[in-house]
Amino acid sequence: MDADALARAVADHLHAREGTSKALGIVIEEVREGYARIRMTVQGSMLNGHGVAQGGMIFTLADTAFAYACNSRNASTMANQASIVFLSPGRDGERLTAEAREEAVSGRSGVYRIRVTGEDGRDVAVFQGLSRSVGGAVIN
Amino acid sequence: MDADALARAVADHLHAREGTSKALGIVIEEVREGYARIRMTVQGSMLNGHGVAQGGMIFTLADTAFAYACNSRNASTMANQASIVFLSPGRDGERLTAEAREEAVSGRSGVYRIRVTGEDGRDVAVFQGLSRSVGGAVIN
Amino acid sequence: MDADALARAVADHLHAREGTSKALGIVIEEVREGYARIRMTVQGSMLNGHGVAQGGMIFTLADTAFAYACNSRNASTMANQASIVFLSPGRDGERLTAEAREEAVSGRSGVYRIRVTGEDGRDVAVFQGLSRSVGGAVIN
Amino acid sequence: MDADALARAVADHLHAREGTSKALGIVIEEVREGYARIRMTVQGSMLNGHGVAQGGMIFTLADTAFAYACNSRNASTMANQASIVFLSPGRDGERLTAEAREEAVSGRSGVYRIRVTGEDGRDVAVFQGLSRSVGGAVIN
């Protein structure tokens, strides 16, 4: 299996086990080594008191893309820290896309940046995540 | 209505309109001016591929406490940025508590820190949020 | 030596070796276990192109207080990540104070929050730092 | 003047007024619209108690590149928040390079990412900055 096929197999494995991906309807679009692009559609259960996507739902989408990207080499890796900037609301019924890219890897640490965009391509949020590999493989 | 009663009324108003609070079973414990404490219990729909609480669910709990604290003076306020550190996993079935405190306010900006703890009192996550008031009131 | 005296001895040891503390005139006011308060005065060499303290100088003051607090138990500890919010400019000639407090410790990780204030007590910046102990002692 | 020449003129203007750039020996390598690359060499006055570059000095370099990138359209812009991950120490005598890129712009807010690398090309730090334009021009 080549690096990109392995990355996709790991993401599919995680996705099948995630309660959140089922609950939020997260769909994998593309996963490669150090890269992931996924989407979800904002539903009523994801709204905040102002009627737009709760920031935590946008974070969850970004964090899921981050997980697929940082586990893509099949080394079990956890999120250690993340910073998110909210730029524009996610609207009820809107399809949001999160794209994760590897920014840097050093020893067991990795830094990933994730951009969440709306249907019209506008920036909804930008996320920077710090990961740490914890030993062991995700899939055999 | 005094400042603490107003803070609670605003939180109750937001809570009643939040799709996320219903979907995640978030319960308000206490809200005062610049302060909020809430809880939720980790369910199967909140787990990641490793069988522990997805980071985004922990973020959502913290972010909801942040919203109650930063809107507590009934000035409509949005999250602008947040940084979260994950210290310990949230377990399936565990009740998590988030406590938000006001750290600093300057002009239209505010900084809040939120601590998420497990049933045994251990630290699960620490969150720092930057808010910006956007004009207008939350409730009439 | 009790815990607070050890904390101060470690900070004094670090301070004596820091090129930055000499260059910036950083003065230790108080160090205890998990706590540090230090100060510096904004000089011309610390200004940005707008004539106020460069954000990195404020960060350096906060980061130095962070170092004293997270090394206070004499376990060698490094900054892993930090997030800073700038609330108000630091003025030319103004004395800035940074106060670091331990927020959470879990295994080898720690989270500290540092508040930087101006002479009039206003909030200049709020800083959250993630540390990681790397093994070994700071002083014998 | 085209957009890239204006960006460079703004950076030169800021650089000439910065106390920090003089004190730290920061050199501009390239500035274009939404982009900046600068460098500095780690000196004794920049070291921490462990004999490597103090994190605040690395932050200052990154923050300076951030300032040139976010002011590059000659709209006066300030840093609002920043998050930095430290990946590898900067060594005494080493030349560090910071490269700032625009990640997203929305209304008056912008998100920039800055990578700091060592002489051997390794990643020293990754920085994400949130800027806010404050009205007015930098140069006439």
pLDDT (tens digit, 9 = 90+) per residue, D6-60?
999 999 999 999 999 999 999 999 999 999 999 999 999 999 998 999 999 999 9
pLDDT attached to residue C1: 84
Q: What is the dihedral of CA D66, D68, D73, D75, to 10 degrees?
A: 80
Per the CB < 8 Å rule, is C60 touching D56?
Answer: yes
A130: nearest CA partner in chain C: C81
Is the pLDDT at B58 greater than 90? The verdict is yes
Backbone phi, psi, residue C19, to 5°: -65, -35
Inspect the interface and report whether the beta carbons of B83 and D80 lie closer than 8 Å. Answer: no
pTM passes above 0.95: yes
Kindly indicate the confidence band of residue D1, based on its pLDDT and cuts at 50, 70 and 90.
Answer: confident
Q: Is B109 an 8 Å CB contact of chain A?
A: no
Contact between chains at A86 and B81 (C-beta distance less than 8 A): yes
Q: Residue D20, by phi and psi: left (phi above 0), alpha (psi -120 to 50) or beta?
A: alpha
- Determine the pLDDT at residue C100: 98
- Percent of chain A beyond pLDDT 70? 100
Q: Give the end-to-end CA distance of chain D in Å, rounded to a whole number.
A: 12
Q: Which residues of chain B lie closer than 8 angstroms to C130, CB-CB? A: 85
Contact A116, A98 (CB under 8 A): yes
pLDDT in tens, A96-110: 999 999 999 999 999
User: Residue C70 belongs to what H/E stretch?
Assistant: helix C55-70
Q: Which residue in the set C16, C45, C85 is minimally distant from D19, CB to CB?
A: C45
Mean pLDDT of A15-19: 97
Closest CA to A83 of A113, A61, A109: A113
Contact flag A104-D87 (C-beta cutoff 8 Å): yes
Taking only the tens place, the pLDDT of each residue in B79-136 is 999 999 999 999 999 999 999 999 999 999 999 999 999 999 999 999 999 999 999 9
D125 neighbourhood in chain C, CB within 8 Å: none
Alpha carbon distances (Å) from C1 to C9, C29, C35, C101? 10, 19, 17, 21
Determine whether B105 is exposed, middle or buried from the number of CB atoms within 10 Å of its CB (0-12, 13-18, 19+).
Answer: middle
Q: Check CB contact under 8 Å for B15 and A49.
A: yes
Cβ–Cβ below 8 Å for C64 and D86: no
| B81/D contact by beta carbon, under 8 A | yes
Whether residue A19 is predicted with pLDDT greater than 90 in this model: the reply is yes
CB proximity B106 to C under 8 Å: yes
The ipTM of this complex is 0.97
B49 chain-A contacts, CB cut-off 8 A = 13-18, 67, 138
So what's the pLDDT on residue A82?
Answer: 98
Regarding predicted confidence, which is higher, D1 or A57? A57
- Does B60 contact A54 at a Cβ distance shorter than 8 Å? yes
- Written as six digits, the tokens of D22 are 């003089």
Q: Is C78 on the interface with D (CB under 8 A)?
A: yes
Per-residue model confidence as pLDDT tens digits over D98-111: 999 999 999 999 99
SS3 A35: strand
What is the rounded distance in angstroms from the CA atom of residue D67 to the CA atom of residue D76? Answer: 10
Pick from C85, D86, A60: which is nearest to B129 by CA? C85
CATH for B3-137, among 3.40.50.720, 1.10.10.10, 3.10.129.10, 3.30.460.10? 3.10.129.10
**pLDDT tens-digit map of A70-128:** 999 999 999 999 999 999 999 999 999 999 999 999 999 999 999 999 999 999 999 99
CB contact under 8 A, C59 and D60: yes
Task: Report the pLDDT value the prediction gives residue B80, as an integer from 0 to 100.
Answer: 97
More confident of the two residues C1 and C37: C37
Nearest CA to C131 among C65, C54, C52? Answer: C65
pLDDT digits (tens, 9 = 90+) for A32-62: 999 999 999 999 999 999 899 999 999 999 9
Chains that touch A (3 or more CB pairs under 8 A): B, C, D
Q: CB distance from D126 to chain A under 8 Å?
A: yes
Beta bridge partners of D99: D37, D115
Q: How far apart are the first and last CA of chain A?
A: 12
Contacts of C138 in chain D (CB under 8 A): 49
Nearest to C83 among A80, A83, A109 (CB): A83
- Residue A1: the pLDDT is 84
Which residues from A are below 8 Å from B43, CB to CB?
Answer: 19
Judge whether residue C79 has pLDDT over 90. yes
Give the span between the Cα atoms of D55 and C20, in whole angstroms: 10
The tokens for D139 are: 């140069």
**Taking CB atoms and an 8 Å limit, are A84 and B82 in contact across chains?**
yes
**pLDDT bracket for residue D120 (50, 70, 90):** very high
CA-nearest of C71, C106, A129 to B116 is C106
Give the 3-state secondary structure of residue B21.
helix
- A88: three-class secondary structure by DSSP: coil
Interval C9-21 mean pLDDT: 98
What is d(CA D70, CA C88) in angstroms, rounded to the nearest whole number?
19
Q: Residues A122, D106: contact at Cβ < 8 Å? A: yes
What is the residue whose two structure tokens read 């996550």?
B125
Contact B63 A47 (CB under 8 A): no
Write down the pLDDT at residue A52: 96
**What pLDDT was estimated at residue B135?**
92
Which pLDDT tens digit goes with each residue over D87-100? 999 999 999 999 99
Question: What are B20-32's pLDDT values in tens digits?
Answer: 999 999 999 999 9
DSSP code for A53: B
Q: Which two tokens stand for residue A121?
A: 């391509």
Task: Give residue-wise pLDDT tens across range C23-69.
Answer: 999 999 999 999 999 999 999 999 999 899 999 999 999 999 999 99
Rounded Cα–Cα distance for residues B93 and B40 (Å): 10
Domain range annotation of chain A: 3-137
Q: Check residue B1 and give its pLDDT.
A: 84
